[in-house]
Structure 1
Amino acid sequence: MKKNALLFFYGLALFISSCSVMKNKKSTDTLSNTSWELDYISGPRIAFDGLYPNKKPQITFNTTTSEVSGTTSCNGYMAKYTLDNKVITFGEPGPTTMMFCEGGGEQLFLQMMKKIDNYSIDKEGKLNLNVGDVSMMRFKKRSE
């Protein structure tokens, strides 16, 4: 009887831990293989379309290499990121292209990325990059 109870609790613990691994995998799967386009950024007194007059910043997550890549609106970038459930941090962007950008939104975008500490995906399917409970940047899925 003692062995059966021990076996039952061991099996239950294994089941619970596998569920949490599957939940964590599901959250990273929503980020991977999707390109996201910025449609909101917090803070500036300049209108969003004034910051990004020609092209909106984009981000793509590579969950295999733990890297993000995309554009800041005119220059390309790449950076490492760490992810633990919904907690996310971005490393310093690596070398970017050096084109001149109109609107001034590039530096705001890169500075905001450094502040992000978690993410969420809302009921509309939009990616929110947050500082605490406040959404600082919001991205929509980019149609390819």
Structure 2
Amino acid sequence: MKNNALLFVSLVAIFVSSCSTIKNTKTTDNLSSATWEMEYISGTRIAFEGLYPNKKPQITFNTTTNEVNGTSSCNGYMAKYTSNGKTISFGEPGPTTMMFCEGGGEQRFLQMIKKVDNYSIDNNGKLNLNVGEVPMMRFKKSKN
């Protein structure tokens, strides 16, 4: 009887741990499953639409090469990133295009992405790039 109870508890523990492993893998897969378009950035005194009057920043994750690329509103960028579970950090942006950008949002985006230390995907499928527990940027899946 004791052996059956011990066996049952062991099987339940294995099942629960395997479910949480699947959940973590699925979150990582969600990063690379879309191009993400910014819909919020923290800490600015200028309205979001004023920062990004023509085009919003976008980010695409390549989990195979640990690189991101996208636009910082009007210029393209590319950078390395590292991730372990929910922690994430971004390297210096590599070659970018050199177009003049209106609104000042490009610099705000590039400064903020360097500060990010973790991410989450909320119940609505939105990507939050956080500093500590504070969401600094929020992205939705792009329709493009």
TM-score for both structures, normalised by structure 1: 0.87
Matches within 5 A, 1:60-99: 60-99=60-99
Q: Distance in 2 between matches of 1:106 and 1:63?
A: 24
Residue 30 of structure 1 aligns to a residue in which SS?
Answer: helix
Q: Distance in 1 between matches of 2:71 and 2:132?
A: 25
Q: Displacement, 1:21?
A: 4.1
Specify every segment of 5 or more residues in structure 1 that has no aligned partner in the other structure, as ranges. 1-7
Q: CA RMSD in A?
A: 2.3
| Map of 2:56 onto structure 1 | 56
Which amino acid in structure 1 is aligned with residue 93 of structure 2? P
Q: Distance in 2 between matches of 1:20 and 1:40?
A: 30
The one-character-per-residue Cα deviations of 1:78-118 (angstroms, maximum 9, x if unpaired) are 01111111111111110101000000000100000000001
Matches within 5 A, 1:1-144: 19-144=19-144
Q: Displacement, 1:23?
A: 3.0
Residue 50 of structure 2 aligns to a residue in which SS?
Answer: helix
The one-character-per-residue Cα deviations of 1:46-99 (angstroms, maximum 9, x if unpaired) are 111000000000000011111110000000000111111111111111010100
Specify every segment of 5 or more residues in structure 2 that has no aligned partner in the other structure, as ranges. 1-7
Misfit runs of 4+, over 3 Å? 10-21
Q: Distance in 2 between matches of 1:11 and 1:66?
A: 35
Aligned residues: 144
TM-score for both structures, normalised by structure 2: 0.87
Which amino acid in structure 1 is aligned with residue 75 of structure 2? N
